[in-house]
A and B are shown apart, each in its own frame.
Chain A
Amino acid sequence: MKKALCELGHYFEVTMHVIKMAFLTIIEYPSNIAGWLISNPLQFIVGFATIKFVVEAFGEINGWNYGQLAFLYGISVISHALSMIFFVQGWFMGYFVIEGEFDRYLTRPLGVLYQFFFTNINIFGITDLIPGILVFVYGCVKCQVHVNAWFLLQVIVMLIGATLIRGGIYILIGSTSFHTRNAVDFGQYTQEIMDKTTMYPISMYPESIQFILTFLIPIGWVSFYPVSSLLGIGNGFANGLLVPFLTLLIGILMMLLAGAYFKAGLKKYESAGN
């Protein structure tokens, strides 16, 4: 137990240092900051403006009113931003595999996945957090939710779970490169799919797609199920105040599955010829 805590402390210490280095890198290239600060938030603000337009034209989407949609959209963007900070490297895992970039992680006394994600931590993901939080707070106000400790706990738990689900999906797709020895540039596609399935209620899709998003690729749990149960909107499947915790559970399971698949892939890792 003491050893495990000591180990955890070690990882924490390294993480802090890595974050410091990430900030140093940002300062090294200051012109990038402006670009990210403008383009990233704008992307989501425009996205949200589209929803506003649609809702104003049609009244509501599938039983979700404007405020509830804002709430859902906010949660989706925040979890997207968190996954961008911690797990965006997963999008490029194939290139790391093919170019032999895992060599250096394998020769250091820390977990390989940990090093892969955290030594490349993407502090710029914070720029996605800003629009997410803005829209989320706006949604909270519109829905007149009672903000208390229990509500905050549910939101945090749901966000952690959602981030883990997204990260797990990135790792699962990225790890296929160990077997195919091909780099799949899947980042853009997954983001498109994730955007379309987490920013809007999935109850608007055909049942077959809902089934896939619930059981096969558990994207429905990123935002739709926990938010609808939190706001008391019937989703016909998972209701109740514990659904955010279910999201966390599914996130942990996804991570365990992804970690095992990654580990199996790493055994087949071939480095790159010199």
Chain B
Amino acid sequence: MIDVQNLCKDYTFKRKEPGIRGAVKSLFTNKRELIHAVRDLSFHIDAGEIVGFIGPNGAGKSTTIKMMSGILTPTKGSVLIGGEDITRHRKEVVRNIGVVFGQRSQLNWDLRLGESFELLKHIYRIKQSDYEETLDVMDSILGIKEIIDKPVRQMSLGQRVKGDLVASMLHSPSVLFLDEPTIGLDVSSKYALRKFIKEINEVRKTTVILTTHDLGDIQELCERIIIINHGVMMEDGNLSQIIDRIAPFKTLVVEYYDEIAPDHPSCEMIEHDGNIAKYKFMKNDTTAADLIAELSKLRPIRDVSIEEAGIDDIIRIAYGE
């Protein structure tokens, strides 16, 4: 469905020295610096996949997704969607994609939500019957008809994002790009958004590409993740396999009766605060049951819990912290 080949994006910028002197100086010098925001990314995404892009701020996630959706022109490389180059055939290719950027809305601020939908209906030449059918489907997932007559400027963020999601799906695109869709949303709106993504992926077989900082999104939605840092691909693959490979450990949290926490050779104490100690152990070396038995021989244990290595560990390791 999507083929990204050797994708690169460079930016130039002028470094400014501090103060008025620096500002005046930069007027006369022409020292431009090159930033490689995205370096040589290549990957393939099949139809029907949900792929999560993760990486720290400034890693190049948004730049990548903007090149994939036709907003930015790549410095080098190409993005093919359904076999067509989006840079060269923008107008044809974007007919097949939907885009939602969490911090930006494509809705008309002054008018009721429905007017923005009507405009899109004309822009994409959606048949009235298809339009109504999509709205019905969207209503059953997001309850959109409750807010369709409300002016967008009076909407809460959660309602606005719902509006944007429906707007991006009206023309039934086969690929949906979401750039930090859950940013700033409350729990129930987040839940609705995740339900929406799952449903359109299952029912309409829409391919979904999203960037997020919300690890819950990733864990709940994505089988495949792509980790980017400094514009370079760090990982690309199945979420649980990546976790097994680069974070093959669990954390055992033990509460003792007093503040003395023993060490044990098959695990590593990573935190000790009052009665509670946290141990990290490799899944291959030992099991949680053995470890609890061993530790309870050393000191009496009051309570235990086990934390799986999660996506945040992955990110911490992959980002090189």
A: residues with CB less than 8 A from B are 10, 13-14, 17-18, 21, 24-25, 28-29, 100, 102-104, 106-111, 119, 266-271, 273-274
Sample 10 A-B pairs with CB under 8 A, ordered by A number. A10-B125, A17-B122, A21-B111, A21-B115, A25-B108, A28-B151, A106-B69, A106-B94, A107-B70, A271-B71
Across the interface, do A24 and B111 meet the contact criterion of CB distance under 8 Å?
Answer: yes
With A106-B70, A107-B97, A109-B124 as contacts: A100 and B104 at CB distance below 8 Å: yes
Complexed CA–CA distance, A24 and B149 (Å): 13
Across the interface, do B73 and A267 meet the contact criterion of CB distance under 8 Å?
Answer: yes
Across the interface, do B72 and A271 meet the contact criterion of CB distance under 8 Å?
Answer: yes
For A109, give its contact among B66, B94, B104, B119 (CB under 8 Å): B94
A-B contacts, CB under 8 A, total: 76
Across the interface, do B99 and A18 meet the contact criterion of CB distance under 8 Å?
Answer: no
Complexed CA–CA distance, A107 and B106 (Å): 10
Across the interface, do A269 and B72 meet the contact criterion of CB distance under 8 Å?
Answer: yes
Across the interface, do A103 and B124 meet the contact criterion of CB distance under 8 Å?
Answer: no
Complexed CA–CA distance, A103 and B103 (Å): 12
B: residues with CB less than 8 A from A are 11, 58, 62, 66, 69-73, 90-92, 94-95, 97, 99, 101-104, 106, 108, 110-111, 115, 118-119, 122-125, 151, 179-180
Across the interface, do B95 and A270 meet the contact criterion of CB distance under 8 Å?
Answer: no
Which residues of the other chain, B, contact A100 by a CB distance below 8 angstroms? 104
Complexed CA–CA distance, A63 and B180 (Å): 66
Cβ-closest chain B residue relative to A119 = B119
Across the interface, do B62 and A103 meet the contact criterion of CB distance under 8 Å?
Answer: no
Cβ-closest chain A residue relative to B151 = A28
Complexed CA–CA distance, A36 and B171 (Å): 38
Complexed CA–CA distance, A14 and B101 (Å): 24
For B104, give its contact among A10, A18, A103 (CB under 8 Å): A103
Chain A nearest CB, measured from B120 CB (Å): 8
Across the interface, do A25 and B111 meet the contact criterion of CB distance under 8 Å?
Answer: yes
- Which among A13, A14, A269, A271 has the highest number of chain B CB atoms within 10 Å? A271
Complexed CA–CA distance, A102 and B70 (Å): 11
Which residues of the other chain, A, contact B108 by a CB distance below 8 angstroms? 21, 25
Across the interface, do A108 and B62 meet the contact criterion of CB distance under 8 Å?
Answer: no
Which residues of the other chain, B, contact A268 by a CB distance below 8 angstroms? 73
Complexed CA–CA distance, A107 and B97 (Å): 8
For B101, give its contact among A13, A103, A267 (CB under 8 Å): A103
Which residues of the other chain, A, contact B97 by a CB distance below 8 angstroms? 107
For B115, give its contact among A14, A24, A270, A273 (CB under 8 Å): A24
For B94, give its contact among A25, A108, A267, A274 (CB under 8 Å): A108
- Top 3 A-B pairs, shortest CB-CB distance: A104-B106, A107-B99, A109-B95
For B110, give its contact among A13, A29, A110 (CB under 8 Å): A29
Complexed CA–CA distance, A210 and B94 (Å): 47
Complexed CA–CA distance, A10 and B104 (Å): 27
List 5 additional contacts besides A107-B97, A110-B91, A271-B66; criterion CB under 8 Å. Answer: A25-B111, A28-B111, A29-B110, A100-B104, A103-B71
Complexed CA–CA distance, A25 and B95 (Å): 27
Across the interface, do A274 and B103 meet the contact criterion of CB distance under 8 Å?
Answer: yes
With A28-B110, A274-B62, A274-B101 as contacts: A106 and B71 at CB distance below 8 Å: yes
Complexed CA–CA distance, A266 and B99 (Å): 19
Cβ-closest chain B residue relative to A107 = B99
Cβ-closest chain B residue relative to A100 = B104
Across the interface, do A109 and B106 meet the contact criterion of CB distance under 8 Å?
Answer: no
